[in-house]
Amino acid sequence: MQRRTFISGAAGAAAAAAATLSTRTAWAKPEYKWKMVTTWPKNFPGLGTGANNLAKLIGEMSGGRIQVKVYGAQELVPAFEVFDAVSRGTAEMGHGAAYYWKGKSEAAQFFSTVPFGLTAQEMNGWMYYGGGLELWTELYADFGLVPAPAGNTGVQMGGWFNKEINSVADLQGLKMRIPGLGGEVLKRAGGTPVNLPGGELFTSLQSGAIDATEWVGPYNDLAFGLYKAAKYYYYPGWHEPGTTLEAIINKEVFDGLPGDLQSIVTNACKVVNQDMLAEYTARNPAALKTLLNEHHVDLRKFPDDVLAKLHELSDQVVAEIAEKDAFSQKTYASYQKFLNQAKEWSGISELTYLQARDQS
């Protein structure tokens, strides 16, 4: 008798819960239906799935009041039109990387990564507490956009090579897929930078059309099968020491949101920014093990004199961005000041600790 009462009580509670849930579901009819365009192939590991996570999180945190549908590159607009599409309101939101938009402003590159620049951890410090995000917000406001850090790959790998790099002379004539500032540095070192979309890397490397390519890190590189097309896997990724991915939101759309939803969108970006780095931090070491143990990849470190030369050229290339316009000058000054301080601190904290940890 008691047991039956208990069951019917439980059933009653469940029914009440279901009623509450359905009430809640009814209340949570989407108030905003957004499109998110991305520079990544749909569901691309790490980067594309990071964009998916961001959309899911905004939906969950807002109780369904904002519903975000994610579009891969080419589905709604081509990869490199994401910025313009969100700027003019074709899509409410986008996910990509700021260095793709250097045609809009050279300064944009500082908000993704620059060669021999800040690590992921330091980038987050500059962004949230060192004035970086304020500068970025100021720059993008001119284009009707609100930016937010929304993912980080951590330090990338130097890339896949079919030529050994034993000295600076080996960079002469090296035909390598390496976009952006890294490409400019390679050019000054005597190489030939090539820009190719991710989908063409494997065949270009395999056919010998290029001697080398960089991509991301072990997790993404393994997925692309690049080890089948190149002999050597070089490190470190001097050209992308901690690439910040970006979320962009149409400014009119963002400004029109109630305060709680603005906070939800901003903080969902913050969660994804940290979460993507955590994912890469977990998956890269495991993928590297697979590359080494199952695919017998020949892992090489760039020689010190090669890194020193690339560093010297990088400092020139990055400093030249500052000469382009007043805003780039201001951003360079802020970034450089933070970098100098971070270098000193990271040298006595992370670096010394990691060196000590490795000694045993």
Q: Rounded CA gap, 306 and 170, in Å?
A: 9
Gyration radius of the chain's alpha carbons: 23
Shortest Cβ 250–Ca ion spacing (Å):
27
Shortest Cβ 223–Ca ion spacing (Å):
14
Q: Which stretch binds Ca ion (CB under 5 A): 162-170, 233-241, 288-296, 325-333?
A: 233-241
Shortest Cβ 333–Ca ion spacing (Å):
26
CA distance to 39, 154, 176, 223, 272, per residue, from 277 (Å): 18, 6, 26, 18, 8
> CB-wise, 112 or 156, nearer to Ca ion?
156
Rounded to 5°, angle at Cα 31 from 30 and 36: 75
> CB-wise, 143 or 280, nearer to Ca ion?
280
Q: Binding-site residue total for Ca ion (CB under 5 A)?
A: 2
Q: Which stretch binds Ca ion (CB under 5 A): 5-13, 52-60, 154-162, 316-324?
A: 154-162
> CB-wise, 87 or 156, nearer to Ca ion?
156
Long-range contacts of 110-114 (CB under 8 A, 24+ apart): 110/135, 110/321, 110/331, 110/332, 110/335, 111/135, 111/136, 111/139, 111/147, 111/244, 111/246, 112/243, 112/244, 112/245, 112/246, 113/240, 113/241, 113/242, 113/243, 113/244, 114/181, 114/314, 114/318, 114/335
> CB-wise, 34 or 227, nearer to Ca ion?
227
> CB-wise, 83 or 215, nearer to Ca ion?
215
CA distance to 48, 186, 232, 296, per residue, from 238 (Å): 24, 11, 16, 24
> CB-wise, 72 or 237, nearer to Ca ion?
237
Shortest Cβ 217–Ca ion spacing (Å):
8
> CB-wise, 107 or 216, nearer to Ca ion?
216
Burial class (CB in 10 A: 0-12, 13-18, 19+), 241: buried
The first and second tokens of residue 258, run together, are 């109630």
Q: Which stretch binds Ca ion (CB under 5 A): 56-64, 106-114, 155-163, 286-294?
A: 155-163
Q: Which of residues 34-53 bind Ca ion (CB under 5 A)?
A: none
> CB-wise, 240 or 279, nearer to Ca ion?
240
Among 230, 137, 93, 138, residue whose Cα is nearest residue 215: 230
Shortest Cβ 82–Ca ion spacing (Å):
17
Q: Which stretch binds Ca ion (CB under 5 A): 60-68, 149-157, 249-257, 318-326?
A: 149-157
Order across the sheet with 159-161: list the strands: 192-194, 175-177, 212-213, 159-161, 232-235, 298-301
> CB-wise, 83 or 100, nearer to Ca ion?
100
Q: Which stretch binds Ca ion (CB under 5 A): 36-44, 47-55, 152-160, 218-226?
A: 152-160
Shortest Cβ 216–Ca ion spacing (Å):
5
Among 45, 43, 32, residue whose Cα is nearest residue 70: 43
Q: Which of residues 156-185 bind Ca ion (CB under 5 A)?
A: 156
Shortest Cβ 214–Ca ion spacing (Å):
5
Rounded to 5°, angle at Cα 202 from 201 and 205: 80
Sketch the per residue contact string, 102 through 141, with Ca ion: x for CB under 5 A, - otherwise.
Answer: ----------------------------------------
Shortest Cβ 218–Ca ion spacing (Å):
13
> CB-wise, 35 or 239, nearer to Ca ion?
239
Shortest Cβ 334–Ca ion spacing (Å):
24
Shortest Cβ 323–Ca ion spacing (Å):
25
Q: Are strands 192-194 and 175-177 parallel, antiparallel or unpaired?
A: parallel
Q: Which of residues 234-293 bind Ca ion (CB under 5 A)?
A: 240
Instruction: State the residues that interact with Ca ion by CB under 5 A.
Output: 156, 240
